[in-house]
Amino acid sequence: MKSSLGKKGFTLIELMIVMTIIGILVSIAQPNFQKAIIRAKETSLRRSLFVLRDVIDQYYADHGNYPETLETLVEEHYIRAIPEDPFTRSRTSWIVIAPEGSEESGVYDVHSGSDLVALNGTPYNEW
C-alpha cells in the first residue's frame, strides 16, 4: 500500500494568504465602487432635471402659463410619469419653484429634494 503523504491540495497557510490578498484588493476597490454609484445617481438626477425643465418649457410654450403641479404634466401627457429622485428615492420629494416677479403661480423650475452634497461640493437641491 502506498502512504497518503502524497495528497494534493492547499495548506491552511496558502489559503489564508490568498484570502488576505483578496481582502486587500476588495478594500482598495470599495471606495471606487461607491463613487461610481454616486456618479451614476448624479447623472440620473441631471437627466431627470433636464427632462422636467424641458417639459415645463414645452407646457409654457403650448399654454402660455406654467403647470400648476408636476402631476399636470403627466395628466396632459407631456411625460409618462414623474421621475424618481435618485437620492431620495421618491417621486414626491421634488422642490417646486414658482415663477418670480409675477402674479402667476405654478411650476417654473424644479430642484432635487435631497439634503446631500454632490461630489463636486454643491448641494443637490441647488442643481
Q: Quote the pLDDT of residue 6.
A: 62
CA distances from 88 to 34, 72, 91, 95 (A): 17, 22, 8, 12
The proportion of the chain whose per-residue pLDDT surpasses 70, expressed as a percent, equals: 94
Whole-prediction pTM: 0.76
Question: What would the pLDDT profile of 77-105 be if each residue is shown by its tens digit?
Answer: 999 999 999 999 999 999 999 988 767 78
The mean pLDDT value for 32-50 works out to 94
Closest CA to 81 of 50, 107, 51: 51
- Cell numbers found for residue 80: 409618462
Question: What would the pLDDT profile of 3-29 be if each residue is shown by its tens digit?
Answer: 556 678 889 999 999 999 999 999 998
105 in helix, strand or coil? coil
At residue 27, φ and ψ (nearest 5 deg) are -70, -30
pLDDT above 80: residue 125: yes
